[in-house]
Structure 1
Amino acid sequence: MSTTIADQDSYDPFDQAPAEEPVAEQLPAADARAARAARARVAAARLGAEGVEGVVVSWVDNAGLTRVKAVPVRRLEHAAAWGVGAAPCFDVFLVDDSITTSRHIGGPVGDLRLVPDLGRLTRLAAQPGWAWAPGDRLTQEGTEHPGCQRRFARRMIAEARRRGLELRAGIEVEWVVALAGPPAEPPVYPTHGPAYGFHRLTDLSDYLRDLLSALDRQGLAVLQLHPEYATGQFEVSIAAEDPLGAADSTVLVRQTVRAVGVRHGLRTSFAPAVEPDGVGNGGHLHLSLWRDGRNLGQGGPGPHGLTTEAESFLAGVLAELPALLALGAPSPASYLRLVPQRWAGAYQCWGRENREAALRLIPGPPDEGPGSANAELKCFDAAANPYLLIGGVLAVGLTGIAARRALPAEVLDEPSEHPGPAIPRLPATLATALAEYRTSTLLREALGDPLYEAVSAVRQAELDLFAEHTPEELVAATRWRY
């Protein structure tokens, strides 16, 4: 949860209470507009006094790219009240900025209003003179745009709360840094230290120190920062938040990583594959299910202390993972990463602390407290739209609870060498994942036809776009896009 402009003097970065729907959104349209304008007027005055000149408002498209509109700080009040124009065709943009179409969304006609969420308005520590807020996309009449991924996540969170459930989540952010250069050039790494080695922290200590400082000044509670397996690769983990906050924080963390890198002469790749035969960048989702302040991942009768509800939630997610990959591993390049024996979660199975399983159960140290138990979904990567990912996981998990699903037998060893029945692989190509997605009535109902079909259209168009590419060409085409 980041420090917002309205509450910087009293903010507790370790407060993990779920973010409520903004009060303005619960009012009639005209009153909501007036409430947003009044709040923005106060925030703009404070920002201006602190030297901020512009406010970036972001959304994430179905290809997984963060798109933005920016306004001068003096226009924040108007933007909060009326939004900023943003065409609906962005829902069918591809990773290379070409455009496809779908049955409900596409073409040059129409407009939306991108409305900043002032509850997450944050001064950007690595970009002096700038602030940021995530945006919700509404129609010109002020109603919900059915293709808005952030509003989809909101709906699923609201459905969980209606059932008395709360999800706490965090997305690990992995990236690779290289020396700045032309986009067509392959990466030239600023460090060649060993995986997880102290060498890398030494080689890039100024960069990483500035990154920690920037994240902290933005109110993001860093749990750990470390070198990862691949050359030039790092990972940062942020404290668990409410699901919408976790998705917003993922956007902010990535923007901060990139901005700090620019100031150090580095370029950043969050692409799922940076080298054709490398391990790539994951976007692992950690989650825990709560009811009435109790973590349902411990103290129950199920495997390793899971309550019945938590087990059914995870069983619902595990069963739907092949279709969920169309949201969480959305690029053809994702499947260069999602291969066995790289701890990418390529098998549709679960296990306690099993890093090769798609679903890793983490009971946590027994005396660490109620927040330690969680589950990690390892098969997702950094090309995913975090709002689609979190909304989709909530949708299938809640259905698992309703159906009282149970987890299959636990896999205690390397899945590829399992002595019993063969453990099913998750889809090995985007085409296979897309076929699973297209048969998922569950995801269609949760997303709604316009968003569901726009996602399908983008996935198919990117499959067609890269159909003749070799792995090397695919990596080169996508390496610096994410």
Structure 2
Amino acid sequence: MDLLEQHTRDERRTEAEARLDELADAGVVAVALPWVDTSGITRVKTVPLAKLPSAAAWGVGMSPVFDGFLLDDSIIAGRFAGSATGDLRLHPDLSRLTVLAGQPGWAWAPVDRYTQAGTPHVQCSRSLLRRLVASLAEEGLTVRGAFEIEWVVARPDGTPDDADAFAPALTGPAYGMTRLAEVSDYARDLLDALEAQGVDVDQFHPEYAGGQLEVSVAAEDPVAAADTALLVRNTITAVSSQHGLRVSFSPKVTADGVGNGGHVHLSLWRDGQNLMAGGEGPLGLTRDGEGFVAGLLDHLPALLAVGAPAVASYLRLVPSHWAGAFAAWGLENREAAIRFVTGPEGNRQSAANVEVKCVDLAANPYLLMAACLAVGAAGVRAGSRLPDPVAVDPASLSDDERRDAGIRPLPATLSEAAEAFDADEVLAAAFGEELHATVVDVRRGEVALLEEQTAEQVCRTTRWKH
């Protein structure tokens, strides 16, 4: 995006003014302007409805210090983040302005962060994703993507001796109809709210862990997909609160439990053709489709620094837990970090996609989607090829068998992922010097913050942050 010229500001103000009566008729009194920080925490400022035109034209002030925030709200002294000086402007994207069905009286619009001079902030993850989408478009390529959202619902008062403990609000079995019956009214209100907000829900179901649920939404362009992920999570939190429930999206809620994933589904397109299907490559991939998947696979260790960005992420990312702890790909293989999905016979041209399974909801969705696009595009440009798909749990193979098949274990700690990200030239070039350095600095800051904690203490520290 270029400098915000006066005519652009005037157009944004006019567009916002044209929406005021409609929003007032819907009962809106204020607009939430959220963004996601480097640690994956959603931060927000709000404006009264009458101030929306001014916010659209001139933005709302916010310190850049939040680029250096850790999950406990402490602040690193990073190379390019953490300073008390400076100011940014939060500019709402009115194309995503949404009346919040789960929060009466409120509307919502994600923001792009600009400098006072009217240029995009170099550490704005949403602006980064926009640029990478535009870069692919120049090559005739588009990506469709979606995030799966898993969460657990808990009793708001914890346990009798610990108000912050996790006490699941549902007792039914994994994927069980009895669990759905327990949550029937809550699920109805949640689905109603999502529909009212224009979210195209594909599926809703009980999941595996205690109190765990999942919602899947339709694929969109990458920026819209990240926006939708943010909106869905906000709606889940709001509707849960109305029903007296507490919510956690944490990658690991308890040390001995199954964590929440935040899987990303991606497909690559050119001229209306899905490049994940109808080709002569492995499992029907076209050459460009294969290159995209190979790029993802090659850069998975570094990708984890934005896709599994919490210390708690590595308590989830363990073998034989359907989390994808090995850098491998395979057809419908839920133990591979990249699961290839063909879709049903007769619908593959539309449905074929890859699912990145080793990531979770501690991630900033804009950063994660941007990283996926950057490494996938690098694979396309390099003509990268895939190894043979893996049809078994990689953990069931011997070390020699995995080595012969080119299967690598993914980083086992956030420190290892941060080091891989720091050394990754593709992601360094895509993110730019300042943002690339800040991701590394924040990850190292959170490692230092939690390095003396036990696994259960890490879960407790992280449990209610995401």
- TM-score by length of structure 2 reads 0.97
Task: Provide the rounded CA distance (Å) in 1 between the counterparts of 2:84 and 2:157.
Answer: 34
5+ residue gaps in structure 1? Answer: 1-24
Does 1:402 pair with 2:356? Answer: no
Whether the 8 Å contact between 2:317 and 2:323 is mirrored in structure 1 is yes
The alpha carbon displacement at 1:26 in A equals: 6.9
1:306-340 deviation digits (Å, cap 9, x = unpaired): 00000001101100000000000000000000001
Whether the 8 Å contact between 1:101 and 1:454 is mirrored in structure 2 is no
Query: Counterpart in 2 of 1:440?
Result: 424
Task: Pick closer, same or farther for the CA change 1:138–1:27 going to 2, 3 Å.
Answer: closer
1:356-391 deviation digits (Å, cap 9, x = unpaired): 000000011121252210100000001000000000
Task: Pick closer, same or farther for the CA change 1:474–1:421 going to 2, 3 Å.
Answer: closer
Task: Provide the rounded CA distance (Å) in 1 between the counterparts of 2:197 and 2:150.
Answer: 19
Query: Counterpart in 2 of 1:462?
Result: 446
Query: Counterpart in 1 of 2:293?
Result: 314
Query: Counterpart in 1 of 2:197?
Result: 218
Percent of aligned positions with the same letter in both sequences?
52
Query: Counterpart in 2 of 1:3?
Result: none
One-letter amino acid of the structure 2 residue matched with residue 162 of structure 1: E
**Which is further off, 27-36 or 394-403?**
27-36
Local SS of the residue matching 2:153: strand
TM superposition outliers: structure 1 runs of 4+ over 3 Å? 25-28
Task: Provide the rounded CA distance (Å) in 2 between the counterparts of 1:217 and 1:26.
Answer: 34
One-letter amino acid of the structure 1 residue matched with residue 419 of structure 2: A
Task: Provide the rounded CA distance (Å) in 1 between the counterparts of 2:123 and 2:226.
Answer: 17
Local SS of the residue matching 2:355: strand
Task: Provide the rounded CA distance (Å) in 2 between the counterparts of 1:238 and 1:79.
Answer: 30
1:83-136 deviation digits (Å, cap 9, x = unpaired): 001100000000000001222222110000000000000000010110000000
Does 1:351 pair with 2:330? Answer: yes
Query: Counterpart in 1 of 2:184?
Result: 205
The alpha carbon displacement at 1:175 in A equals: 0.2
Task: Provide the rounded CA distance (Å) in 2 between the counterparts of 1:467 and 1:28.
Answer: 43
Query: Counterpart in 2 of 1:449?
Result: 433
Whether the 8 Å contact between 1:164 and 1:291 is mirrored in structure 2 is yes
Task: Provide the rounded CA distance (Å) in 2 between the counterparts of 1:26 and 1:459.
Answer: 30
Does 1:250 pair with 2:222? Answer: no
The alpha carbon displacement at 1:49 in A equals: 2.3
1:46-97 deviation digits (Å, cap 9, x = unpaired): 1012210000001000000000000000000000000001100000000000
One-letter amino acid of the structure 2 residue matched with residue 414 of structure 1: D
The alpha carbon displacement at 1:141 in A equals: 1.0
Whether the 8 Å contact between 2:292 and 2:376 is mirrored in structure 1 is yes
The number of aligned residues is 458
The alpha carbon displacement at 1:421 in A equals: 3.4
Does 1:428 pair with 2:412? Answer: yes
**Which is further off, 40-49 or 202-211?**
40-49
Task: Pick closer, same or farther for the CA change 1:28–1:380 going to 2, 3 Å.
Answer: closer
The alpha carbon displacement at 1:179 in A equals: 1.1
**Which is further off, 213-222 or 102-111?**
102-111
One-letter amino acid of the structure 1 residue matched with residue 113 of structure 2: R
Task: Provide the rounded CA distance (Å) in 1 between the counterparts of 2:352 and 2:217.
Answer: 16
Query: Counterpart in 2 of 1:69?
Result: 45
Query: Counterpart in 2 of 1:17?
Result: none
1:232-278 deviation digits (Å, cap 9, x = unpaired): 00000000000000000000000000000000000100000001021
Query: Counterpart in 2 of 1:285?
Result: 264
1:286-313 deviation digits (Å, cap 9, x = unpaired): 0100000110111101011100000001
1:426-472 deviation digits (Å, cap 9, x = unpaired): 00110111111111111111000111111111101000000000001
1:417 to 383, 390, 396: 396
1:151-182 deviation digits (Å, cap 9, x = unpaired): 01111111110110000000000000001127
- TM-score by length of structure 1 reads 0.93
The alpha carbon displacement at 1:28 in A equals: 5.7
Whether the 8 Å contact between 2:3 and 2:118 is mirrored in structure 1 is no
Local SS of the residue matching 1:408: coil
Whether the 8 Å contact between 1:277 and 1:336 is mirrored in structure 2 is no
One-letter amino acid of the structure 1 residue matched with residue 243 of structure 2: H
Whether the 8 Å contact between 2:394 and 2:402 is mirrored in structure 1 is no
Query: Counterpart in 2 of 1:339?
Result: 318
**Which is further off, 262-271 or 367-376?**
367-376
Query: Counterpart in 2 of 1:82?
Result: 58
Query: Counterpart in 2 of 1:389?
Result: 368
One-letter amino acid of the structure 1 residue matched with residue 244 of structure 2: G
Task: Provide the rounded CA distance (Å) in 2 between the counterparts of 1:35 and 1:369.
Answer: 42
Task: Provide the rounded CA distance (Å) in 2 between the counterparts of 1:102 and 1:421.
Answer: 38
One-letter amino acid of the structure 2 residue matched with residue 443 of structure 1: L
Q: Give the CA RMSD over aligned residues.
A: 1.2
Task: Provide the rounded CA distance (Å) in 2 between the counterparts of 1:372 and 1:232.
Answer: 30
Does 1:187 pair with 2:166? Answer: yes
One-letter amino acid of the structure 1 residue matched with residue 78 of structure 2: S
2:145 to 169, 179, 191: 169
Query: Counterpart in 2 of 1:29?
Result: 5
Task: Provide the rounded CA distance (Å) in 2 between the counterparts of 1:201 and 1:26.
Answer: 49
One-letter amino acid of the structure 1 residue matched with residue 449 of structure 2: L
